Amino acid sequence: MKKIINDPADILDEMLEGLAFAYEDLVERLPETTVIHRKVDHNDKVALVSGGGSGHEPAHAGFVGKGMLSAAVCGEVFTSPTPDQIFEAIKASDEGHGVFLIIKNYSGDVMNFDMAKDLAEMEDIPVEFVIVDDDVAVEDSTYTAGKRGIAGTVLVHKILGGAAEQGLTLAEVKELADKLIPNIKSIGVALKAATVPEVGKPGFELADDEIEFGVGIHGEPGYRREKIKPSKELAKELIERLKEEFQWKNGDQYAVLVNGMGGTPLMEQFVFMNDVRNLLAEEGLHIDFRKVGDYMTSIDMQGLSLTLVKLEDSRWLDYLNAPVTTISW
């Protein structure tokens, strides 16, 4: 393992210090916590809090700022943050209008965010939440009952962030989130597994000419391995899986995110986006919002995921396009 780190046990602390220093105009690390909080004057609105294990940078701390998250709770690498840390984030974020939690569907996250919600409610902070399970690749997985939450989570941050910034109440944000989640679906392909620093070797092995469809962002197994194919064939496979789920029809409006997993150059992501564009045009879809880059990574995994959002409500597009002040959106 070659990584630019010191003691693997210190990565979370050192990463948070480096991030808070680099972007001290935008965010701060709450003292003696693993919470990154935005530096924005309280503005009398519902606050959004997300988080999870580290290793998915820029998620979630990169999306803390005006118009998106109030705080991100950062666990150790690929490990859920503890309830007390999540509770700290909730307390720091509440502006008297309640806190909305955006949770990726991993058993540890779901349990710990739920416990933090209970702690907050004991202190009379109203809390609602949504569980993101956008990955259509497999049902049930290493750390998940049901479907996993992956890159679509970042679009949930953005859409709900836009809504909260517009002044929606906690109940209205919850209603929007519940409508949104079934309309966000993702699927990915991996070329090479991530190496967790504390482990020191890749989480699984793929042959030099082999890829795996549907791998999770912690290296959870996908649904098929085969030889590497051209980008346009990879795009076709992922789009066909998403089509089965959405059952779209000509003229439907969608948003698209091509998300790099950490070790995939932008060059490849743009080539893939070009193939996605051509295939979705053949399907007759209107693509009203697009984004390409590393948003929800898996340390140094090579691969990418494709997320589509069916824009059922025109306000969702407004929320996607609304300006924000964050490190990484």
Of 20, 54, 17, 18, the closest CA to residue 37 belongs to: 20
Cα–Cα distance measured from residue 190 to residue 18, given in angstroms and rounded to the nearest whole number = 29
- Cα pseudo-dihedral 182, 184, 190, 194, rounded to 10: -90
CB 325 within 8 Å of CB 67: yes
107-122 and 83-93 are packed helices; what angle lies between their axes, rounded to 10 degrees?
A: 50
- Return the range that interacts with a copy of itself (CB under 8 A); candidates 3-11, 43-51, 121-129, 241-249: 3-11
Site for a copy of itself in 232-271 (CB under 8 A): 232, 234, 258, 262-271
Contacts of 76 (CB under 8 A, 6+ apart): 12, 53, 54
When binding is defined by CB under 8 A, the residue of 36, 64, 138, 191 that contacts a copy of itself is: 191
Of 72, 80, 135, the closest CA to residue 102 belongs to: 72
Per annotation, catalytic residue among 37, 60, 157, 218: 218
Q: Which is nearer to a copy of itself, 116 or 258 (CB)?
A: 258
Q: Is 56 a catalytic residue?
A: yes
Rounded least distance, CB 18 to a copy of itself, Å: 4
Per annotation, catalytic residue among 37, 56, 97, 157: 56
Q: Which is nearer to a copy of itself, 171 or 266 (CB)?
A: 266
Task: Kindly state the helix (H) or strand (E) to which residue 242 belongs, with its residue range.
Answer: helix 231-246
- Return the range that interacts with a copy of itself (CB under 8 A); candidates 112-120, 128-136, 168-176, 204-212: 204-212
Q: How many residues bind to a copy of itself according to rule CB under 8 A?
A: 60
Q: Which is nearer to a copy of itself, 25 or 124 (CB)?
A: 25
- Parallel, antiparallel or unpaired: strands 210-213 and 184-192: antiparallel
Rounded least distance, CB 187 to a copy of itself, Å: 14
Rounded least distance, CB 269 to a copy of itself, Å: 8
Rounded least distance, CB 34 to a copy of itself, Å: 13
- For 167, the token pair is 């002044």
Q: Which is nearer to a copy of itself, 77 or 163 (CB)?
A: 77
Q: Which residues pair with 289 in a beta bridge?
A: 255
- Return the range that interacts with a copy of itself (CB under 8 A); candidates 31-39, 42-50, 179-187, 226-234: 226-234
Task: State phi, psi for 177 to the nearest 5 degrees.
Answer: -60, -40
Task: State phi, psi for 296 to the nearest 5 degrees.
Answer: -130, 95
Cα–Cα distance measured from residue 258 to residue 103, given in angstroms and rounded to the nearest whole number = 21
Which spans of this chain sit near a copy of itself (rule: CB under 8 A)? 2-7, 11, 14-19, 21-24, 54-55, 57-58, 62, 77, 189, 191-192, 208-209, 211, 228, 230-232, 234, 258, 262-275, 277, 290-292, 294, 297, 299-300, 302-304
Residues with active-site annotation: 56, 218
